[in-house]
Protein backbone atom coordinates (compact mmCIF):
# COMPACT_ATOMS: atom_id res chain seq x y z
CA UNK A 1 0.00 0.00 0.00
CA UNK A 2 1.40 3.37 -1.00
CA UNK A 3 1.83 6.40 1.22
CA UNK A 4 -1.60 7.40 2.54
CA UNK A 5 -2.40 11.03 3.28
CA UNK A 6 -5.73 11.87 4.94
CA UNK A 7 -6.82 15.49 5.41
CA UNK A 8 -10.01 16.50 7.21
CA UNK A 9 -11.16 20.13 7.40
CA UNK A 10 -14.16 21.71 9.10
CA UNK A 11 -15.36 25.11 10.27
CA UNK A 12 -16.40 24.06 13.78
CA UNK A 13 -15.30 25.98 16.85
CA UNK A 14 -13.97 23.23 19.11
CA UNK A 15 -11.53 22.94 22.00
CA UNK A 16 -8.08 22.07 20.64
CA UNK A 17 -7.30 19.25 23.03
CA UNK A 18 -10.77 17.78 22.53
CA UNK A 19 -10.35 17.84 18.76
CA UNK A 20 -6.97 16.14 19.06
CA UNK A 21 -8.39 13.40 21.28
CA UNK A 22 -11.44 12.77 19.11
CA UNK A 23 -9.34 12.64 15.96
CA UNK A 24 -6.83 10.24 17.51
CA UNK A 25 -9.68 7.92 18.54
CA UNK A 26 -11.25 8.10 15.08
CA UNK A 27 -7.96 7.29 13.35
CA UNK A 28 -7.38 4.35 15.69
CA UNK A 29 -10.69 2.78 14.66
CA UNK A 30 -10.34 3.53 10.95
CA UNK A 31 -6.98 4.10 9.27
CA UNK A 32 -5.16 2.05 11.90
CA UNK A 33 -7.47 -0.89 11.18
CA UNK A 34 -6.95 -1.29 7.43
CA UNK A 35 -4.40 -3.20 5.40
CA UNK A 36 -4.00 -3.95 1.71
CA UNK A 37 -0.71 -5.84 1.66
CA UNK A 38 0.70 -5.29 5.14
CA UNK A 39 3.26 -2.80 3.87
CA UNK A 40 2.94 0.61 5.51
CA UNK A 41 4.75 3.82 4.66
CA UNK A 42 6.94 5.84 7.01
CA UNK A 43 5.21 8.91 5.58
CA UNK A 44 1.57 7.99 6.26
CA UNK A 45 -0.23 11.05 7.64
CA UNK A 46 -3.69 11.93 8.93
CA UNK A 47 -4.51 15.45 10.10
CA UNK A 48 -7.52 17.58 10.90
CA UNK A 49 -8.02 21.34 10.79
CA UNK A 50 -10.89 23.36 12.28
CA UNK A 51 -11.00 27.11 11.64
CA UNK A 52 -13.94 27.96 13.91
CA UNK A 53 -15.72 30.04 11.28
CA UNK A 54 -19.05 28.27 11.87
CA UNK A 55 -19.66 30.70 14.70
CA UNK A 56 -20.96 28.04 17.08
CA UNK A 57 -20.30 28.11 20.81
CA UNK A 58 -16.97 26.34 21.28
CA UNK A 59 -17.47 22.60 21.67
CA UNK A 60 -16.03 21.53 25.00
CA UNK A 61 -15.14 18.13 26.53
CA UNK A 62 -17.93 16.21 28.23
CA UNK A 63 -20.77 17.85 26.31
CA UNK A 64 -23.44 16.31 24.09
CA UNK A 65 -21.99 18.31 21.20
CA UNK A 66 -18.58 16.73 21.76
CA UNK A 67 -20.14 13.26 21.62
CA UNK A 68 -22.02 14.07 18.41
CA UNK A 69 -18.92 15.55 16.79
CA UNK A 70 -16.86 12.52 17.79
CA UNK A 71 -19.36 10.04 16.35
CA UNK A 72 -19.65 12.00 13.10
CA UNK A 73 -15.86 12.13 12.84
CA UNK A 74 -15.56 8.37 13.35
CA UNK A 75 -18.18 7.75 10.66
CA UNK A 76 -16.33 10.00 8.21
CA UNK A 77 -12.90 8.53 8.94
CA UNK A 78 -14.15 4.96 8.63
CA UNK A 79 -15.71 5.73 5.25
CA UNK A 80 -12.44 7.28 4.06
CA UNK A 81 -10.36 4.37 5.33
CA UNK A 82 -12.63 1.77 3.75
CA UNK A 83 -12.33 3.66 0.45
CA UNK A 84 -8.55 3.20 0.60
CA UNK A 85 -9.03 -0.57 0.85
CA UNK A 86 -11.56 -0.65 -1.99
CA UNK A 87 -9.04 1.23 -4.14
CA UNK A 88 -6.21 -1.18 -3.30
CA UNK A 89 -3.92 -2.23 -6.13
CA UNK A 90 -5.66 -4.98 -8.08
CA UNK A 91 -8.32 -5.46 -5.40
CA UNK A 92 -11.45 -7.36 -6.46
CA UNK A 93 -12.97 -7.93 -3.01
CA UNK A 94 -13.55 -5.86 0.10
CA UNK A 95 -13.08 -8.02 3.19
CA UNK A 96 -14.09 -7.41 6.80
CA UNK A 97 -12.23 -9.51 9.38
CA UNK A 98 -13.95 -9.73 12.77
CA UNK A 99 -12.29 -11.43 15.71
CA UNK A 100 -14.51 -11.72 18.75
CA UNK A 101 -14.51 -13.01 22.31
CA UNK A 102 -10.71 -12.75 22.56
CA UNK A 103 -8.71 -12.59 25.79
CA UNK A 104 -7.71 -8.96 25.20
CA UNK A 105 -8.15 -6.14 22.70
CA UNK A 106 -4.51 -6.59 21.70
CA UNK A 107 -5.02 -10.31 21.07
CA UNK A 108 -8.10 -9.66 18.94
CA UNK A 109 -6.30 -7.00 16.89
CA UNK A 110 -3.17 -9.13 16.44
CA UNK A 111 -5.13 -12.13 15.21
CA UNK A 112 -7.35 -10.05 12.92
CA UNK A 113 -4.32 -8.46 11.26
CA UNK A 114 -2.59 -11.84 10.94
CA UNK A 115 -5.58 -13.14 8.98
CA UNK A 116 -5.91 -9.95 6.94
CA UNK A 117 -2.22 -9.90 5.97
CA UNK A 118 -1.86 -13.61 5.18
CA UNK A 119 -0.93 -14.08 1.50
CA UNK A 120 -2.55 -17.53 1.56
CA UNK A 121 -5.82 -16.14 2.91
CA UNK A 122 -5.77 -13.22 0.48
CA UNK A 123 -5.12 -15.40 -2.57
CA UNK A 124 -7.85 -17.82 -1.44
CA UNK A 125 -10.23 -14.87 -1.32
CA UNK A 126 -9.29 -13.93 -4.88
CA UNK A 127 -9.72 -17.52 -6.06
CA UNK A 128 -13.01 -17.87 -4.17
CA UNK A 129 -11.59 -20.84 -2.30
CA UNK A 130 -13.40 -21.37 1.05
CA UNK A 131 -10.24 -22.61 2.75
CA UNK A 132 -11.03 -22.38 6.46
CA UNK A 133 -7.68 -24.04 7.24
CA UNK A 134 -5.75 -21.04 5.93
CA UNK A 135 -7.77 -18.67 8.09
CA UNK A 136 -7.30 -20.71 11.26
CA UNK A 137 -3.63 -21.28 10.47
CA UNK A 138 -3.06 -17.53 10.10
CA UNK A 139 -4.86 -16.95 13.39
CA UNK A 140 -2.84 -19.66 15.09
CA UNK A 141 0.53 -18.25 14.06
CA UNK A 142 -0.38 -14.77 15.31
CA UNK A 143 0.79 -15.48 18.86
CA UNK A 144 -2.15 -15.17 21.28
CA UNK A 145 -3.36 -18.52 22.59
CA UNK A 146 -6.76 -19.92 21.70
CA UNK A 147 -8.23 -23.39 21.33
CA UNK A 148 -9.59 -24.25 17.86
CA UNK A 149 -11.74 -26.92 19.50
CA UNK A 150 -13.66 -24.08 21.17
CA UNK A 151 -13.66 -21.65 18.23
CA UNK A 152 -16.26 -20.78 15.61
CA UNK A 153 -15.57 -19.44 12.11
CA UNK A 154 -18.14 -17.88 9.80
CA UNK A 155 -17.99 -16.52 6.26
CA UNK A 156 -20.79 -14.12 5.36
CA UNK A 157 -22.65 -15.16 8.52
CA UNK A 158 -22.59 -18.88 7.66
CA UNK A 159 -20.70 -21.29 9.91
CA UNK A 160 -17.91 -23.14 8.11
CA UNK A 161 -16.03 -24.34 11.21
CA UNK A 162 -17.39 -24.85 14.70
CA UNK A 163 -15.93 -26.23 17.93
CA UNK A 164 -13.05 -28.06 16.27
CA UNK A 165 -14.91 -29.42 13.25
CA UNK A 166 -15.65 -28.22 9.72
CA UNK A 167 -19.32 -27.67 8.96
CA UNK A 168 -20.56 -30.07 6.31
CA UNK A 169 -21.48 -27.83 3.40
CA UNK A 170 -21.24 -28.82 -0.25
CA UNK A 171 -18.39 -27.39 -2.31
CA UNK A 172 -20.95 -25.41 -4.31
CA UNK A 173 -22.38 -23.92 -1.12
CA UNK A 174 -18.89 -23.09 0.16
CA UNK A 175 -17.81 -21.41 -3.07
CA UNK A 176 -21.05 -19.42 -3.18
CA UNK A 177 -20.06 -17.89 0.15
CA UNK A 178 -16.89 -16.53 -1.48
CA UNK A 179 -18.52 -15.17 -4.64
CA UNK A 180 -19.72 -11.74 -3.43
CA UNK A 181 -17.52 -8.69 -3.84
CA UNK A 182 -17.84 -8.05 -0.11
CA UNK A 183 -16.77 -10.83 2.26
CA UNK A 184 -17.31 -10.91 6.02
CA UNK A 185 -15.09 -13.30 8.00
CA UNK A 186 -15.86 -13.73 11.69
CA UNK A 187 -13.77 -15.78 14.12
CA UNK A 188 -14.96 -16.18 17.70
CA UNK A 189 -12.35 -17.52 20.12
CA UNK A 190 -14.31 -17.82 23.39
CA UNK A 191 -11.31 -16.83 25.49
CA UNK A 192 -12.62 -13.47 26.72
CA UNK A 193 -14.80 -10.50 25.90
CA UNK A 194 -12.72 -8.40 23.51
CA UNK A 195 -13.03 -7.86 19.77
CA UNK A 196 -11.43 -6.16 16.77
CA UNK A 197 -12.45 -5.39 13.20
CA UNK A 198 -9.90 -5.08 10.38
CA UNK A 199 -10.64 -4.22 6.75
CA UNK A 200 -8.61 -5.66 3.89
CA UNK A 201 -8.74 -6.80 0.26
CA UNK A 202 -7.80 -9.86 -1.72
CA UNK A 203 -4.50 -10.39 -3.56
CA UNK A 204 -4.99 -10.74 -7.31
CA UNK A 205 -2.96 -11.28 -10.47
CA UNK A 206 -3.26 -7.55 -11.13
CA UNK A 207 -1.59 -6.73 -7.80
CA UNK A 208 1.51 -8.62 -8.93
CA UNK A 209 1.34 -7.11 -12.42
CA UNK A 210 0.98 -3.54 -11.16
CA UNK A 211 3.87 -3.81 -8.73
CA UNK A 212 6.11 -5.85 -11.03
CA UNK A 213 5.75 -3.35 -13.87
CA UNK A 214 6.13 -0.25 -11.71
CA UNK A 215 9.55 1.36 -12.04
CA UNK A 216 10.93 4.34 -10.13
Pick the CATH number of 5-86 from 3.40.228.10, 3.40.50.300, 3.30.2330.10, 3.30.470.20: 3.30.2330.10
**Which residues are known catalytic residues?**
3
Would the pLDDT of 1 be above 70? Answer: no
Q: pLDDT, tens digit, for every residue of 39-78? A: 888 889 999 999 999 999 999 999 999 999 999 999 999 9
Largest interatomic CA distance in the chain: 61
Q: What does the pLDDT read at residue 2?
A: 58
> Rounded distance, CA 192 to CA 214, Å?
45
pTM metric for this prediction: 0.93
Domain spanning 94-210: which superfamily? ArgJ beta chain, C-terminal domain (3.10.20.340)
Q: pLDDT, tens digit, for every residue of 120-175? A: 999 999 999 989 999 999 999 999 999 999 999 999 999 999 999 999 998 889 88
Angle between the N-to-C axes of helices 119-126 and 132-140, in degrees from 0 to 180, rounded to the nearest 10: 160
Q: What does the pLDDT read at residue 130?
A: 86
Q: What percent of the chain has pLDDT over 90?
A: 88
Tell me whether the CATH fold assigned to 5-86 matches the one assigned to 94-210. Answer: no
Higher per-residue confidence, 185 vs 2 = 185
**Domain segments of the chain as ranges:** 5-86, 94-210
Which among 156, 153, 175, 172 has a CA at the least distance from the CA of 164?
153
Instruction: Say if residue 195 is exposed, middle or buried (CB neighbours under 10 Å; 0-12, 13-18, 19+).
Output: middle
Q: pLDDT, tens digit, for every residue of 8-47? A: 999 999 999 999 999 999 999 999 999 999 888 888 999 9
Q: Could you give the count of Cα atoms lying within 13 Å of 135 in the half-sphere of its Cβ?
A: 27
Amino acid sequence: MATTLAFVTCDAAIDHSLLDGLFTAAVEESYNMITVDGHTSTNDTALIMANGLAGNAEIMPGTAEAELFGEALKTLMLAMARAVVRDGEGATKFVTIRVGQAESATAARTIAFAIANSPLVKTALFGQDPNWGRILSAAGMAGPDFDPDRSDLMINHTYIFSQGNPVMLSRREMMALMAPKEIDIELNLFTGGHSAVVYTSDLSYDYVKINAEYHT
